[in-house]
Amino acid sequence: MRDRLSIDPVCLGAGVALAAVGVIIVLASSGALSVPLGWMAVALTAAVAVILLLSGLVDGGPRRHD
């Protein structure tokens, strides 16, 4: 039998966060959305925060070295 598909939540969340930032950049560069530099920095910081939050919430299992 085949093993079940396992999804890595950190990779999934990182992909979604980076895709969202990419959509904002594409919309801003095409002129459809006016995003000042300060708000772009907020969006990038939020994407990094999502990735770090997910990596902290996921159980490390037996690989932890306390």
Task: Tell me the pLDDT tens digit for each residue of 5-62.
Answer: 888 888 999 999 999 999 999 999 999 989 999 999 999 999 999 999 998 888 665 6
Q: What pLDDT score was predicted for residue 4?
A: 84
Rounding to the nearest 10 degrees, give the CA dihedral for residues 54, 60, 63, 65: 90
Q: What pLDDT score was predicted for residue 58?
A: 81
Q: What pLDDT score was predicted for residue 56?
A: 87
User: What is the pTM assigned to this prediction?
Assistant: 0.76
CA distances from 13 to 4, 5, 10, 42, 52 (A): 20, 17, 5, 17, 10
Q: What pLDDT score was predicted for residue 50?
A: 93
Q: What pLDDT score was predicted for residue 3?
A: 76
Residue with tokens 């000042």: 36
